[in-house]
Structure 1
C-alpha cells in the first residue's frame, strides 16, 4: 500500500477540513488572490501542511469550489424531484446568483477566472451548469420559460447580476426572472 492509498490520520483529516474551511472563507470574501501562506496563517498551520493536502493553490481552490458545487448540485437535484420544472429552474437560477454575490471566489469562477469549473465539476459528478441546462429545457417544455432563452443568455444574465453593485440585488433577480418567462399575448 502506497502512502497515498493509506487512510488519513484523524488529525490530518481535521487539519485538511480546517484548511478547506479557512480557504473557503478567504476566497468567499477576498476572491482568488489570497496567497496560500495567508490561508495557512489564518488556519494556524504551516504552509507545508497546506501543501501536503493541496499541492497547488489551484488544487486548494478546486477543492473549495467542488465542495460548493457538490452542495449546489444536491440542491438542484432536490428541486428537480420535489418541484415542477418552472419552480425548480427559477429557484436554482436565483440561488446561483445569490451564491455568486456572496462568494467572490465562486463569482470569479462562474465569470471565467481561468479555472475550468465545469470540467472539474463534471469529473466530480457535480456539474451545476448541466443541471441548470436540464432544468431550463424542462421549464421551457412546461411553458414556464420563454423557448427563445438559451443557456448562453443565462450565463450573460448571471454575469450581469454578479457585476451589479446596487442597493437591491433581489429586485434585479426578480426583474430578470420575470423577463425569462414566456411573453403572453
Structure 2
C-alpha cells in the first residue's frame, strides 16, 4: 500500500487484509470478496479499490509467506550441497502450501488466467536457481514449474486429512525418491 494514502484508506486496507486472511484460511482461495467487505464494514467499491481482482487479494494474503519462501531460496542459493538445498526449499514450500489453506488452490487458479497470480511467478523465480544448480542430481525433464505443480497437488490432497502438513510431508518424502534418487 502506498504511504501517501489517507489514514482512513490505510486503515480500510489493513482491516480488509486482516479479514481476508481469516476468510481465506476458513474458505480457501474462493472466499467471497463481497463477504470480506461486509465483515470488514466497507462497501464493495472499497474492496475493489484495494483489491481489484481476486488474484490481487490472494497476493496480499499470501505475501509474507511467499516472501519468506523467496528469502529462504536466496539463503540456500550458495549452499555447498545443491541437491540438499533444493530439497530443503521444496520441503518448506510443501509445508507452507499444506499449512496455509487456500495457497495451493490459489496456485492452481492462476493457470490459464489472463490475470496472473503474481506469487506463482515469485515462487518460480525464487526456486529456479536452486533447480538449475541441482540439475546434475535431478531426473531428466524436472523443472521448477513442474515441481511447484507437484507440490500444489500434494497440498490439495493433504487438505483432506486431519493433519495436512504431516500428510504433505509424508507424500513429499515419498515423491523425492522419484524426483532425485540418492
- Length-normalised TM-score, structure 1: 0.73
Query: Deviation at 1:36?
Result: 1.5
* 2:153 corresponds to 1:160: yes
User: In 2, distance between residues paired with 1:110 and 1:51?
Assistant: 21
Partner of residue 11, structure 2 = 14
2:140 is aligned, of 148, 151, 158, to 148
- CA displacement 1:100-128 (0-9 Å, x = unmatched): 21233221122244456867348xxx621
1:131 is aligned, of 126, 129, 136, to 126
User: In 2, distance between residues paired with 1:31 and 1:74?
Assistant: 25
**Structure 1, unaligned stretches of length 5 or more?**
none
- Equivalences for residues 1-185 of structure 1 within 5 A: 7-81=4-78, 84-114=81-111, 115=113, 120-121=118-119, 127-141=122-136, 145-148=137-140, 150-151=142-143, 153-162=146-155, 163-164=157-158, 165-166=160-161, 168-169=166-167, 170-183=169-182
Is 1:72–1:128's contact at 8 Å kept on the other side of the alignment? Answer: yes
User: In 2, distance between residues paired with 1:48 and 1:117?
Assistant: 19
Instruction: Count the aligned residue pairs.
Output: 173
Query: Deviation at 1:89?
Result: 0.8
- Length-normalised TM-score, structure 2: 0.74
**Structure 2, unaligned stretches of length 5 or more?**
none
RMSD: 3.1
Which structure is larger by alpha-carbon Rg, 1 or 2?
Answer: 1
User: In 2, distance between residues paired with 1:83 and 1:118?
Assistant: 34
- CA displacement 1:148-183 (0-9 Å, x = unmatched): 251254245324312244464122222222333335
User: In 2, distance between residues paired with 1:91 and 1:171?
Assistant: 14
